[in-house]
Amino acid sequence: MTETAINPEIQKIRPPRNQWWDVWDQFKTHRGALIGAAFFIFIVLGVFIGPWLWTIDPTYIDIRARNSGPSWAHPMGTDQLGRDTFARMMAGGQVSIAVGLTAMTLSLLLGTAIGVLAGFFRRLDGPLMRFTDLFLALPLLPLLLVIILLFRDSLRAAFGPETGIFILIVFVIGITSWMQTARIVRGDVLALKEREFVLAARSIGTPPRRMITRHILPNVLSPIMVSATLGIATAIITESALSFLGLGFPSDFPTWGRLLYDSTDYLQQYPERVIWPGLAISLTVLSVNYIGDGLRDALDPRIRGR
């Protein structure tokens, strides 16, 4: 930017370039975000490619090697049935990350859509916000129990035991965690709607749908980003809570949350068993938070270039 100010004559006029290049340029300067992104990619690759290299079956029971500590044969040790914790961590990571990302996306889409519609269209505001209040007022745990009891068997029959439960859990987490996003987005949209640039867009004749995509959504991106990164963490933890209650995945099916809960019984004797899944969950959440932080900065032109 400064070079062009100093020698505007010499520099050729640059054609408007895609905004995403500016975003990437700024993202690169955010060290935390870069480290977070690298670490997140590492975890994702690790859990999805790792099982090809570390070929021990996570469900294989080797009862003689049970409760062993970290060794070359079992880098993270084994559990009370002699299953390899490293293999189980990778298998569990696949499920946890998939559940976290999809449930977060679902709740984000739902929350943003409802928030924007309620904020932008005055007529929808009342009904949609009362609907949101209704969901906030519902006792979530009993609701989850009822939903899962009602739909578990039919979904299992339709998609197989694991996919069926996966769909069910993602859906359940998604539809019970969109309310905060919706409320925050609605508040921001209400304020934005009164800004003069929205009025300017109306004087140009921009129809409401493009007004939302062009002027409203880019400006509410920051709160959406924040709730997205927090949402992943909540989704992973809710999934583990459900598994703990026996309503999630089958008990022999590893997820990070399930590993965590299984090992709490042995917290005194084998504390490292709690540490592995705990560390994985918190580092994933932390890296996603940093990515979100960097993205939020990079997407705001006022911060960009600083």
Partner 1 sequence: MADGALKPLVEVRNLKMHFPIFSGILRRRAGEVKAVDGVSFDIFEGETLGLVGESGCGKSTAGRAILRLYDITEGSIRIDGAEIGSQPQDDLRAMRPRMQMVFQDPQASLNPRMSVAGIIGEPLDEHTKLSKSEKLDRIYELMDAVGLNRDFANRYPHEFSGGQRQRIGIARALALNPKFIVCDEPIAALDVSIQAQVVNLLEDLQEKFGLTYLFISHDLSMVRHIADRVAVMYLGKVVELAPRDALYTVPKHPYTEALLSAVPEPDPRLEAKVERIILKGDVPSPANPPKGCNFCTRCPKVMEICRSEEPEFREVAPGHFTACHLHDQTKSQTAGKTAASEAQ
Nearer to partner 1, 64 or 123 (CB): 123
Nearer to partner 1, 9 or 53 (CB): 9
Interaxial angle between packed helices 85-120 and 272-299, expressed in degrees from 0 to 180 and rounded to the nearest 10: 40
Q: From the CB of 302, what's the least distance to partner 1, in Å?
A: 5
Contact 256, 93 (CB under 8 A): yes
CA gap 251, 262 in Å, rounded: 9
Q: DSSP string spanning 26-67?
A: HHHH-HHHHHHHHHHHHHHHHHHHHHHHS---TT---GGGTT
Take residue 279 and report the two structure tokens written for it. Answer: 């560390």
Nearer to partner 1, 13 or 137 (CB): 13
CA gap 161, 142 in Å, rounded: 22
Binding site for partner 1 (CB under 8 A): 1, 4, 8, 11, 13-17, 19, 195-197, 199-207, 210, 214-215, 218-219, 299-302, 304
Q: From the CB of 183, what's the least distance to partner 1, in Å?
A: 21
Side chain identity at 263, as an amino acid letter?
S
CA gap 230, 288 in Å, rounded: 8
Neighbours of 68 (CB within 10 A): 17
Q: From the CB of 175, what's the least distance to partner 1, in Å?
A: 30
Task: For residue 177, count CB atoms less than 10 angstroms from its CB and return exposed for 0-12, middle for 13-18, buried for 19 or more.
Answer: buried
Q: From the CB of 300, what's the least distance to partner 1, in Å?
A: 7
Torsion on CA atoms 126, 128, 131, 136, rounded to nearest 10: -100
Q: From the CB of 296, what's the least distance to partner 1, in Å?
A: 12
- Backbone phi and psi for residue 5, each to the nearest 5 degrees, phi listed first: -70, -35
Nearer to partner 1, 142 or 205 (CB): 205
Take residue 108 and report the two structure tokens written for it. Answer: 């984000």
Nearer to partner 1, 129 or 285 (CB): 129
Q: From the CB of 69, what's the least distance to partner 1, in Å?
A: 54
Nearer to partner 1, 1 or 53 (CB): 1
Q: From the CB of 222, what's the least distance to partner 1, in Å?
A: 11
Nearer to partner 1, 31 or 122 (CB): 122
